[in-house]
Amino acid sequence: MHLRSHRGFLWTLFTPKLFLEKALWSFVTGFVGEVPVFLAKPQTYMNLSGESTGPLAAYYKLPLNQVLVFHDDMNLPCGVLRLHDKGGHGSHKGLKSVIYNFRGNREFPRLRIGIGSPPGQMDPKAFLLQKFNVTARQRIDEALQEGIDALKLLLSKGLTESAKRFNKEQKYKHLRVQNLPVS
């Protein structure tokens, strides 16, 4: 599970290892500070992840503004994160599936993790199925930890304040990271 398209899955490695299996997802519950959280990992193919997230949100009657979708993004440099309150799918098939299974609703927060873009004329599908090299893997691991920090900030300060603060920090990281080699 070290492929570029599996970055959202790796986020769960930083959480407790108690996973209860459901038909289409694995999840863990716990607390961040005093706030209860529910982390779920789709058990579907990435491009069909909405088939698990949509029913999960419906089953637990979760308002979509309280569902944070964590996904990879080839439009961001490797290891750079962005926190947004809503948006489209940007040609991301898994996110397109989520939006479809949220009945077309795009009004849910998401945390994007940059995986970089394919070099030269490389096919994006082939790029997504590649393993990370050591440098890229270190960036991703650091970004996953920063994602946990973003979640803590989100739960304590709310989405608007968190996104403003967090994205500003990531903006400067973006300027530093874009000049570092990932090969």
- 3-state secondary structure string across 141-153: HHHHHHHHHHHHH
Strands 81-84, 20-21: pairing kind = unpaired
Rounded to the nearest 5°, which phi and psi values hold at 117?
-110, 160
* Tokens describing residue 5: 């398209």
Q: Is 53 exposed, middle or buried (0-12, 13-18, 19+ CB in 10 A)?
A: buried
pLDDT at residue 137 is higher than 60: yes
Quick one: which H or E segment has residue 32?
strand 25-32
pLDDT at residue 31 is higher than 60: yes
Give 41's pLDDT tier (boundaries 50, 70, 90). confident
pLDDT per residue over 75-114, tens digit each?
A: 899 999 999 999 988 888 889 999 999 999 999 999 999 9
Angstrom distance (rounded) from CA 74 to CA 97 = 17
**What number does CATH give the domain 10-179?**
3.40.50.1470
131: closest CA among 34, 10, 42?
10
